[in-house]
Structure formats: C-alpha cells, structure tokens
Amino acid sequence: MKFSGVKVSLGGLALFLMAVACQKEEKEVTLAPLVLAPASAIPGHYIVLLKSDITKDHPFPEPSSGHRPTQRDAQARQNHFKPLAGAVLAACGISAERVTEYYTEVFPGFSIQLTPSELERLRRHPMVDMLEQDMEVSLPETRREPDEPHLRAQTVPCGISNAGGPADGSESTKWCWIVDSGIDLDHPDLNVITDPTYAKSFAGGTPDDCNGHGTHCAGIVAAMDNTIGVVGVSAGAPVVPVRVLDCNASGRTSKIIKGLDHVALYDEPGDVVNYSITAYWGNNCGSNSSYVAAMTALSNSGTRVAIAAGNYTDQASLYTPACINAANLHTVASMSCGKFWSSFSNYGAPPIDWIATGSSVYSTYLNGGYATLSGTSMATPHVTGIMHSLQSSPNQNGTVDFNGTSYKIASR
C-alpha cells in the first residue's frame, strides 16, 4: 500500500503535468473509464483514482519505525500528496478547493465535486486511471428482535459455539478494525481502542456509535470473557471503531473509502477488518471500482477482511464489495443456529467463501446494552473473530447446502 520510486523535484513533475493538455485533439485522446453508480448517485460528486505513477518521482517519506504508535502520520502524507493531485487538477483548470477527501494508502486519488465539462477534461488527463460516481449508501435491512427486560449473566451464543467456541484474544497486539457505524466506546463488555489517532469518524461527530450496528458486530468479534452479557469469538481482542455511517446507518462511498484508507495507514499484517456494510447492486466486479481497488490493497498488505454477502436473497456476485475475490478477502453468507440456510442471505460460491451464524444473534449494543439482530452483517464478524484468533483463514467444520451448492462452515 506504499507507492515509491526515484525522487526528483516536485516542481519538475508539476511543470510536466501542467504541460499536459486536458483538451487534446479527439483522435489523440483516450478517456479514463467512468464507473456509474447503480443507484443513489450524488449529482456532480466523483471519486478519482490516479495512476500509481503519480508518486513514482516523489515517493512518500517512510517512518523510522514500523511500531504502530509511530507509524505514518496521516496529515503529513496527505500534505505530501496534495501538490501532486493539485497539479493534475490545475492542468485541467479545476480548483483543488473542491476536493473533499484525499486517498494516499489504498490508491492515490481524491473525491471531488465537478461540473460536466470539468469531468470530461479530467477524463482526458493521462494520470487519471478511473473515475466513479459517488453515491449514497445505507445498510441492508437487519432484523432486530425485542430487547430483553434485564441483562443476562454471561452466555456463549450459539454462533460462537458454531464457530468453534471462544478463544482468548485479550493479550493480542493485533487489532480488529470495525468499519461501520462506530462502537459504543465505553461498553463494559468490549476492549475498545479509543486513541483518536486510530478511532475515527468519517461520518461526522465522534467514533462513538449512535446506531448500534457497529457495536453489535464488535461484540460478536471480541466481547470479553467476563461475567456479563456475551463472549466473542476472540474474546477481549482490541476493537477499533472506524465510523463511516451516521446514526441512521447511512453514508456515502467516498467516506467509506476514506475509512478504508485510514485503516490502511495504520494496520499491520495480522490485523483483521470487519466490513458488514455490503452490498450495492449493479456495480459488480466485472469492472474496476474504488471498492475493488481499496479491498485489494488491504488484501495485498496482509490484512484479512471479512465482507458480508448481503441480505437480498440474490447472487452475491452482483454486489460490491461482496463480489471481490482476493487472497485475504472472505465473503460470508448466513445460516441459523441449527446450521440451516438463512432465508435472507445472498448466495453463490464464488464469491462466497464461508457461512456462519447470522440469524438471531445476541451481542453487545448501544449504551452498554445487548440486542438480538439478524443478517449477513452478523455472520461476518464470526469470521473476523476466527481469523483474529487463528491468525489465518478459518478452518472448515461441515457444510450447509443451498440450491445445489455446498457452503463451508467457518470455524476455529
């Protein structure tokens, strides 16, 4: 996730970029591909992926130590990259003031507001690899069952048992990044990393959860082995909130990619990412996209990612990022406690790699509480916890058959 090469003066590169005409004769122009949002496009807003060569002649400075607390400084790397992106925009007569996010880790690029004519000029620049419409995003429907009248003594939910039982993750130095609606920062049953360098919100406010979805996922991954509530698959493991959704579980692609870029800045091999936000119909993996680029970069870095298959009773191959296949990416379908297929789950193997319990899952929730939810969002963190505890891909413990296809049950 680092772009490097021979160092020359930034001024020389800027002059070269400024000299490149965004408006060549039509016969000389190859337009960069434009990925259209399948639904909920935000008018005039785009994500721009630049070619990796953009940093070849002006590489990012590397930290003196790989130890996590002294890893790359986000602002310094962004400030280093801004003039490179700005030179591309200036060559096309576009103000850099309209950039809303810069991406330095999962790919070099930015999100920006453009007029139609500016969009066409930018597509002509040879340093532009791809453009994509930004879009509104919301969680797939997740069923919540009525709250219980009082706190239970600690139980081991059936999903944890189906995953091979809890393991002690409390001493691990590897982190579980929860890219979601945040985490209840002071939940008594969770070991939350609250250092503001790492715990971030890209959806306004703080990384404290005001929806509940992210906290529920975090508990499945890593609720503590104590006397209250529940226990997670990798019990007591450090969980890091990366909030990309608001209190209504809504967001936008550009902010989600910024959250993944943040993870890529500070992750290290052995970390795991829980991504229970999928899926978005129509923008499948037949073409490149910001999700494909970002998830593949995380995979290549050695960080394992669990991705929800989606709750649409449909082919997972039609949904991004569930459709992505890479060595460290694991798409997860849902089954019941009794190891029967969940009626809401997306299907198809590939891209689905594993199945885990997602029906009627009891876990941590808002305000130090607990709740029972259903969805592939709940199946996915079981796989996240398994990968954290094993420091490898899951083991298989049986299969669940659906429509003539066998799906591997993920287990420690």
The distance from CA 337 to its chain's CA centroid, rounded to whole angstroms, is 27
| Active-site residue, selected from the candidate residues 377, 382, 388, 389 | 377
Judge if 301 and 330 occupy the same domain. yes
Judge if 201 and 266 occupy the same domain. yes
| pLDDT of amino acid 148 | 61
Judge if 170 and 58 occupy the same domain. no
Judge if 262 and 361 occupy the same domain. yes
Tokens linked to 25: 């004769």
| pLDDT of amino acid 10 | 46
Amino acid identity of residue 339, one-letter, is K
| Active-site residue, selected from the candidate residues 213, 262, 330, 382 | 213
Whether the Cβ atoms of residue 374 and residue 359 lie closer than 8 Å to each other: yes
Per-residue pLDDT of the chain (412 residues; tens, 9 = 90+): 433 333 334 445 444 544 455 755 445 668 999 988 877 899 999 999 999 999 988 888 776 566 676 677 888 899 999 999 999 999 999 999 999 999 999 999 999 999 999 999 999 999 999 999 999 998 876 667 666 655 678 999 999 999 999 999 999 999 999 999 999 999 999 999 999 999 999 999 999 999 999 999 999 999 999 999 999 999 999 999 999 999 999 999 999 999 999 999 999 899 999 999 975 766 568 678 899 999 999 999 899 999 999 999 999 998 989 999 999 999 999 999 999 999 999 999 999 999 999 999 999 999 999 999 999 999 999 999 999 999 999 999 999 999 999 999 999 9
Based on the residue annotation, tell me whether 401 is a catalytic residue of this protein: no
| pLDDT of amino acid 23 | 57
Instruction: State whether residue 112 is helix, strand or coil.
Output: strand
Judge if 114 and 189 occupy the same domain. no
Is 2 inside any structural domain? no
| pLDDT of amino acid 7 | 35
Judge if 226 and 179 occupy the same domain. yes
Judge if 351 and 238 occupy the same domain. yes
Q: What is the CATH number of the domain that holds 308?
A: 3.40.50.200
Q: Which of 100, 134, 168 is the last residue of a domain?
A: 134
| Active-site residue, selected from the candidate residues 129, 134, 180, 189 | 180
| pLDDT of amino acid 36 | 86
Judge if 310 and 379 occupy the same domain. yes
CA dist., res. 133 & res. 45, Å (int): 6
CA dist., res. 232 & res. 239, Å (int): 11
Number of neighbours of residue 332 by Cβ within 10 angstroms: 34
Q: What is the CATH number of the domain that holds 92?
A: 3.30.70.80
Is the pTM here over 0.85, yes or no? Answer: yes
296's CB contacts (< 8 A; 6+ apart) are 324, 326, 329
Based on the residue annotation, tell me whether 216 is a catalytic residue of this protein: no
Number of neighbours of residue 167 by Cβ within 10 angstroms: 23
Tokens linked to 391: 């420091």
How many domains, the chain? 2
Judge if 216 and 350 occupy the same domain. yes
Based on the residue annotation, tell me whether 213 is a catalytic residue of this protein: yes
Find the domain containing 128 and state its range: 10-134
Q: Which of 134, 151, 170 is the last residue of a domain?
A: 134
Judge if 96 and 244 occupy the same domain. no
Judge if 291 and 371 occupy the same domain. yes
CA dist., res. 1 & res. 105, Å (int): 5
Judge if 244 and 205 occupy the same domain. yes
Whether the Cβ atoms of residue 74 and residue 263 lie closer than 8 Å to each other: no
